Structure 1
Amino acid sequence: MGRHSLRERFIESGVMTLHQRGFFGVGVREICAEANAPQGSFINHFGSKEAFAVAVLDRYFERTEAIIAATLGDDTRTAMDRLTAYFDVITDALAGAGWRHGCMISNMSLEAAEHSDLIRGRLEQIFASLTQHFSAGIRAAQAAGSVRADLDPDELADVLLSSWHGAMLRMKVERSSKAIDRFKRVMLSTLLIPPASEPAPNPGHA
């Protein structure tokens, strides 16, 4: 039980530490200090800093999946509302952090994927899972007639998520909501437009 608790302490502390300071921005000694744990126990539990980062990514993604379940998986909402609700919930979290830390999945992709096949492989799996969730949501919205049906839902989900993660990285640079606002204003209104049989009102006419 003690070993399990110590591992949990490392992971819980690591979610905050790696999210805020990045994979290369913190060393094993600092990770142990943040977790208030002896340095020797780090190797016993994880073997390497890369394996630790994967465990932290797993915990972070568990929380992301909980948000997905509460938004994309909420069948009390319309199919389109489920899609937009996910982005709204994440936006609130980003705002709460002062637009500083972004998404750990995006951050780790930019920082560590080139240097670690172990981390890159896990990130690839995470992105595949995210795309699958959004593809299902888009497919449901297409069936409901609220999203254009002329695009493949898998490709649409991939483009949407790539744009979203790019916006979060740009947000960190600007330290503002501008990139997030642009994503919602432009991407959601162009990629997820209503079917051609339901044209948008002409603003030039009353």
Structure 2
Amino acid sequence: MNTPRTNVRQHILDTAKPIILGKGFSVVGLNEVLSAAAVPKGSFYHYFKSKELFGEALLESYFSDYLEYLDKLLNNQALPAAERLMSYWRGWLESQASCDMQGKCLAVKLGGEVSDLSEAMRLALHQGTDQIIDRLAVCIDAAMADGSLSGKIDAHHTAQTLYEMWLGATLLSKMRRDRSAMDGAMLATLSLLNLAK
């Protein structure tokens, strides 16, 4: 059950996410977030004891929502598991290649920026990405079981390799300002999963 306290806390996090996706964590001041959220500064410290703890909460909230989305997508029993898996990568390519900040990946945006600045935020990123990889591995195992993937595939190793490749490709796409690295990741994904025609 949501109480007024959790609603205000979540409102601050929801308001901050697109701002930080656009500018980064270090550059955004608390006043900008609080002004956009229409929350007084004193209230912020009631919910978050520091900017670092606010960043940790932001990442935990992001991964909670992301994992909920991933669970719905990867557990859709109406589709073969390989199709569910490929839907994830197609969705990644579309969302990360678009100009819509709401769909951008907070792990990509903050991974390099905060990992050396905050141990708490680094751990939130590490734990969140590990949970994504675990879910991808389960889906790969399901695809092997339902026959939609063939060959010998180490599910966890492949899930980790694919996630790392897509994370790197997304960073390269940001640097190049084109989607060529993600298009390459899609081709490599099809090859690694033995789906290349």
Determine the structure 1 residue equivalent to 2:193. Answer: 192
Determine the structure 2 residue equivalent to 1:81. Answer: 83
The answer to whether 1:23 aligns with 2:25 is: yes
Match of 1:43 among 42, 45, 59: 45
Determine the structure 2 residue equivalent to 1:170. Answer: 172
Unaligned runs of 5+ in 1: 195-199, 202-206
Larger Rg, first or second structure (1 or 2): 1
Q: Is the 8 A contact 2:95 2:103 kept in 1?
A: no
> 1:10-30: CA deviations, max 9, x gaps?
111011111121111211222
The answer to whether 1:122 aligns with 2:124 is: yes
Letter in 2 for 1:93: S
Q: Which has the higher helix share?
A: 2
Cα shift at 1:165: 0.8
Residues in 1 aligned to 2:139 and 2:102: alpha-carbon distance in whole angstroms: 29
| TM-score calculated relative to the size of structure 2 | 0.89
Name which of structure 1's ranges 120-129 and 146-155 shifts more when overlaid on structure 2.
146-155
Query: Identity of paired residues, percent?
Result: 27
| TM-score calculated relative to the size of structure 1 | 0.85
Residues in 1 aligned to 2:139 and 2:83: alpha-carbon distance in whole angstroms: 10
Q: Is the 8 A contact 1:60 1:104 kept in 2?
A: yes
Cα shift at 1:176: 2.1
Letter in 2 for 1:180: M
Compute the RMSD of aligned alpha carbons: 2.2
Report how many aligned residue pairs link the two structures: 195
Q: Is the 8 A contact 1:79 1:141 kept in 2?
A: yes
Q: Is the 8 A contact 1:19 1:101 kept in 2?
A: no
The answer to whether 1:147 aligns with 2:112 is: no
Residues in 1 aligned to 2:95 and 2:123: alpha-carbon distance in whole angstroms: 26
Residues in 2 aligned to 1:150 and 1:12: alpha-carbon distance in whole angstroms: 42
Q: 1:112 to 1:101 in 2, by over 3 A?
A: farther
Residues in 2 aligned to 1:59 and 1:152: alpha-carbon distance in whole angstroms: 30
